[in-house]
Amino acid sequence: MELQAIGVQHPAVRQVQHIQNNTAPNRYRLFVAEGLWAHNMLLEHNAPIDTFFWCPEAIYADEAHRRAEEIAARAERSYRISLRTLEKISERDKPDGLLSLAALPQWAPEDLRLGRQALVLVADGVEIPGNLGTLIRSLDACAADALLMTNRKTRLTHPKVIRASQGTILTVPTLEFPEVAEAVAWLRRHRFTVFLADTDEAINYRKADFSGRTALVVGSERYGIGNAWYDHGFQRVAVPMLGSGDSLNVSVSASVLLYEARARKSGW
């Protein structure tokens, strides 16, 4: 395969660094995909590939050699880079010769087709990228309809969100609301029953009524759910805390709640 060779000073290489470090606007929601597994995922989900960087010296699997041609055929732009350049832009110890700037899908609220038993999670102010990615992985696993974000603190294009989501970020619809009030209005308009995950004045999550459309709200690792969510009389549900700690990891508590709702909706 013949591709134009470029070096570290090339604008495309600099763009990768800007995307990785979030030092430039990113209106097309570009993110960095690295390695064979991530590229298989891009191909499988037909994700738009903006720029492909190919470093043949760093490729160690036959499958990656074959895949490189498919990716180059799909990408808007493709370049060949040296091992030295690859090491500059890779976040891996042992990068494997395939690196792309790809675009996350963009969803609008009206894109969702909500059934009568729809299930969504609201992440309010979640700060740790690994937690947000793990949440998305769980949403995929339990076939939830969407992730809604309010008071967003971490960007979906963060490398750790992508990695923790294990590729499910390409399939789980994500919607961001600039204000809690807008998210509440949207949930009300679509007749969701909203539950706040909170251990204070809450009912045991096994006793909650998860029939109809259900929205579960979880909060930030340090501060919990923001005050604006408490002005609407929503019921609070708790996963009982029986030990010395006072909370669960946010992706764990969200997943326990999501699977409880899924199990009850499915009659498991």
Which residues lie near a second copy (CB under 8 A)?
45, 130, 134, 137-143, 164, 166-168, 171-172, 204, 206-207, 239-245, 247-249, 251-252, 255-256, 259, 262-263, 268
Which stretches of 6-97 are assigned E, i.e. beta strand? 30-34, 49-54, 77-80
- Cα–Cα distance, 219 to 99 (Å, whole number): 34
CA 188 centroid distance within chain: 24
**CB-nearer residue toward a second copy: 51 or 168:** 168
Beta bridge partners of 103: 30
Please report how close the Cβ of residue 13 comes to a second copy at its closest, in angstroms: 28
Please report how close the Cβ of residue 138 comes to a second copy at its closest, in angstroms: 6
Please report how close the Cβ of residue 4 comes to a second copy at its closest, in angstroms: 34
**CB-nearer residue toward a second copy: 13 or 224:** 224
- C-alpha distances out from residue 231 to 125, 192, 203, Å: 17, 16, 18
**CB-nearer residue toward a second copy: 227 or 244:** 244
**CB-nearer residue toward a second copy: 75 or 139:** 139
- At position 210, the amino acid (one-letter code) is F
Please report how close the Cβ of residue 101 comes to a second copy at its closest, in angstroms: 22
Query: Which residues, other chains included, contact 106 with Cβ-Cβ below 8 Å and sequence gap of 6+?
Result: 29
Please report how close the Cβ of residue 243 comes to a second copy at its closest, in angstroms: 3
**CB-nearer residue toward a second copy: 212 or 240:** 240
HSE-CB at 176 with a 13 A cutoff on CA atoms is 11
**CB-nearer residue toward a second copy: 24 or 143:** 143
HSE-CB at 150 with a 13 A cutoff on CA atoms is 22
Rg, C-alpha atoms of the chain: 21
Q: How many residues does the chain have?
A: 268
- Cα–Cα distance, 200 to 48 (Å, whole number): 44
Please report how close the Cβ of residue 179 comes to a second copy at its closest, in angstroms: 29
Please report how close the Cβ of residue 91 comes to a second copy at its closest, in angstroms: 16
* N- to C-terminal Cα separation, the chain: 52
**CB-nearer residue toward a second copy: 85 or 173:** 173
φ and ψ of 264, to 5 deg: -75, -40
